[in-house]
A and B are shown apart, each in its own frame.
Chain A
């Protein structure tokens, strides 16, 4: 319940689950180095506000 609530709050500002991303990277790209949490956040911020995605409404 709490876990889902936190996940929802983060997703409201466009940040998906870091651990899940790490798990994805380990399974699919084990040869590549893993991003740190701060790198991950920065990448997500750039992706959310790059102008390509319409993620807010009137």
Chain B
């Protein structure tokens, strides 16, 4: 009976997927219900997991349930602990899911919901999930080594150093772009700034509670912190309404950027139990809770998608980020489709706790499917907004002006009807002074979440609460990442410094610690400040650089996977790694090339620098620069960005060429040459 029912059920799922996809793709009306997108996505994910994940696990990787994993071999009760599959799945999902899958799809929605949706589905099922699962497998077979170590081991020391430089730069770009998202969300928002600032004393109190008042009681401490956090959101509304305190918490973007830089430095040198750990507890549980809430909200309310399937901005003229559908969509959405960062997580703590190789598919492939689903939720939420509102929030002032009248008339002239009254009313609903040019994705998602959540929890009166709840959730998460990421960056920098001076490389040395922390903060701080003062709004230049870096790392991880498949003598399945690798190479290198040399000043860094240089030669000032020194700074920023972009492309090409040479050499071998730990 089961033998018959199985295939029948899967044929049904496949037919439902085809139907839902056809409806979504061919629909040409005013709006379409989110349920169709959800149905199509769920069916595609189910089919991907049931067939492709099992194929890759059984045939390509040949996972072996009888093999002893590092968790058993090196069990120490702390890091190496054989863990229940479901429990480890939760741990792994919490580690990979962050702000990225919530922001990229929101930015990509300017091209319509269809391109982003299809890339999330195809990218995850054939690329991202395979990468995560394969790296987890490789690490589990190599004593739970990190990605960098495995690259050194399998591809050689030179490739290892290149990959290490790549990992450090992507870290700095990530921190800068996340910092920019927070600054853009909090600028001129006393309510948001107050609640985010309040998380610092709350975390300090929790830290002291869990260390001194009730040592070790992290559950209690976290619950108290969460209650205080909710109170701070409510109280933030009073602050924003108070004439004096509203002024104190109304900050310029540049002030906020400097505050973040100073804070990032200070936070990463204080003891972890005092600030970082308690804030991490808050942000982790808030993140999981919010993601679940968003999913439930969208399933319950089934909003209509008002954004067209495709907009005119697929031609590259979009106000959110410039650049045409190919290649820019594929680097704008990294997290949720393919994210190189996951290769670091899949070779981090998860393989140390893997109890059995049977769990590799559900954890590696399955958790990434869940992240893709989260990204789909963010896309749906953004597409459910009134398109005119979406563009008002995400276009820089240079394009839409600074008054609601100008913005409404410009955006309506693009074909997305919106009135000044609607813009003012929405700002009032969410308790903000203005919602114009709140770029960076987080405020858009917050408005979208506020609409979804208030429609079934609390009604219109709760809009402002839910908006600031969503902003707080993003900001809290990002602050934790800035702090933890600065520590990771410092450690990597000390690794490099140690090769020059052993004192600076010593992680217990105060001098080495301070020098490396300063370098790391200066690294991301430079890009953050540049983004905040950027004439084109910052996201336009930083998000593509971050996307290129992330996809570069994904390609490096896939080079490793591809070469190891050859070394394992599984050549006939080499396309499992090679196909997504080729696609990433094509996208990342063409996007990099465009960012360097494109004639449009909104896309190419060099043509933008030329424009400003020409103006300097004429003695003219171009907005937003107000002095020649600022003009020079903009030119310098362009050259720095162009160099960084060229560096990413060079690393990518070098790793690919050197890696594939190792692969070709192994192809001629007749025996298994991968460096696995003996079974």
Q: Which residues of A contact B (CB under 8 A)?
A: 4, 7-17, 20-21, 23-25, 36-38, 40-58
Contacts and interface: CB of A to CB of B under 8 A. Distances in A.
Contact of A54 (B88, B94, B285, B488): B488
A41 B216 contact: yes
B276 A49 contact: yes
Nearest to A42: B273
B218 interface: yes
Given A38-B215, A49-B276, A8 B491 contact: no
B678 interface: no
Q: Classify the secondary structure of A's interface with B.
A: helix
Contacts of A41: 210, 215-216, 218
Interface string B83-105: 11011101100111111100000
A7 B218 contact: no
Contacts of A21: 77-78
B79 to A, nearest CB: 7
A20 B399 CA distance: 60
Interface stretch (B250-258, B335-343, B602-610): B335-343
Given A38-B216, A58-B178, A11 B272 contact: no
A8 B90 contact: yes
A11 B345 contact: no
9 contacts: A11-B83, A15-B218, A36-B215, A41-B218, A54-B345, A56-B480, A56-B481, A57-B95, A57-B339
A54 to B, nearest CB: 4
Interface of B: 75-79, 81, 83-84, 86-88, 90-91, 94-100, 146, 174, 178, 210-211, 215-216, 218, 272-273, 276-277, 280-281, 284-285, 288, 334-335, 339, 341-342, 344-345, 348-349, 353, 480-481, 484-485, 487-488, 490-491, 507, 546, 550
A58 to B, nearest CB: 4
- What 10 A-B pairs have minimum CB-CB distances, sorted nearest first? A24-B77, A38-B215, A58-B100, A51-B491, A38-B216, A51-B487, A21-B77, A8-B90, A12-B94, A49-B272
A53 B487 CA distance: 10
B630 to A, nearest CB: 30
B484 A4 contact: no
A7 B100 CA distance: 26
Given A16-B77, A54-B345, A57-B96, A48 B277 contact: yes
B679 to A, nearest CB: 23
B288 A49 contact: no
Contacts of A48: 272, 277, 280
A11 B86 CA distance: 11
A11 B92 CA distance: 9
Contacts of B84: 4, 7
A13 B284 contact: yes
Nearest to B507: A51
Nearest to B222: A13
Contact of B75 (A24, A44, A46, A53): A24
A58 B211 CA distance: 29
Given A37-B216, A57-B95, A4 B87 contact: yes
Nearest to B97: A57
Nearest to B79: A47
A14 B349 contact: yes
A15 B472 CA distance: 25
